[in-house]
Amino acid sequence: MAISENVWRDTVNRNTFVSLRKKLGKTQAQMAQLLGVSIKAVHSYEQGWRTIPAHVERQLFFLISRVFEEVNPEKQCWVIKKCPKDRKYNCPAWEFKAGKLCWFINGTICAGHAYKTWKEKIQICRVCEVMSAGFDFVEEASE
């Protein structure tokens, strides 16, 4: 299934949050514990009373990425993206052996340069073949 760029360019909304929590099979209390936030915070995310912060979005994506099977799981991002050596050796994804978890690390050198914030970086990652290969179900969750 192809990923809708419109969906991916938005931060996780409340419907996506609820759907992903349910896909993980977690209650609000369990989700709060996993995310390191209060149950009240999870409730607020799901009601749309609070914006889902970057660190929570990142943690949520990490949990999802560990549960759902990725496409080409054996391939590292620098292989998939065919990074030239000079870029690869200067990229934190290579330095920290992040492989397909490259999207989790800030400062990776993608689309020509490193982005300073998670919000900027994840917009690039969401439409990148490395991350999107393992997250195609998120489109369903956002509908």
Q: Where does this chain bind ligand SF4 (CB under 6 A)?
A: 77, 81, 93, 102-103, 108, 110, 124-125, 128, 130-131
Q: Which residue number, 14 or 75, has a Cβ lying nearer to ligand SF4?
A: 75
Closer to ligand SF4 by CB, 31 or 77: give it.
Answer: 77
Q: C-beta of 41: minimal distance to ligand SF4 in Å? A: 27
As measured in angstroms, the least distance from the Cβ of 118 to ligand SF4 is 11
Nearest residue (CB) to ligand SF4, 45 versus 118: 118
Of 41 and 102, which has the nearer Cβ to ligand SF4? 102
**Cβ contact 87:109 at 8 Å:** yes
Copy the structure tokens of residue 64. 């999802």
With a CB cutoff of 8 Å and minimum separation 6, the contacts of 24 are 31, 63, 64, 67
Q: What minimum distance in Å lies between the beta carbon of 56 and ligand SF4?
A: 19
Rounded CA separation 50/11 (Å): 13
Pick left, alpha or beta for residue 31 (phi over 0 → left; psi -120 to 50 → alpha; otherwise beta). Answer: alpha
Helix (H, G, I), strand (E, B) or coil at 109: strand
**Least distance from C-beta 121 to ligand SF4, angstroms?**
7
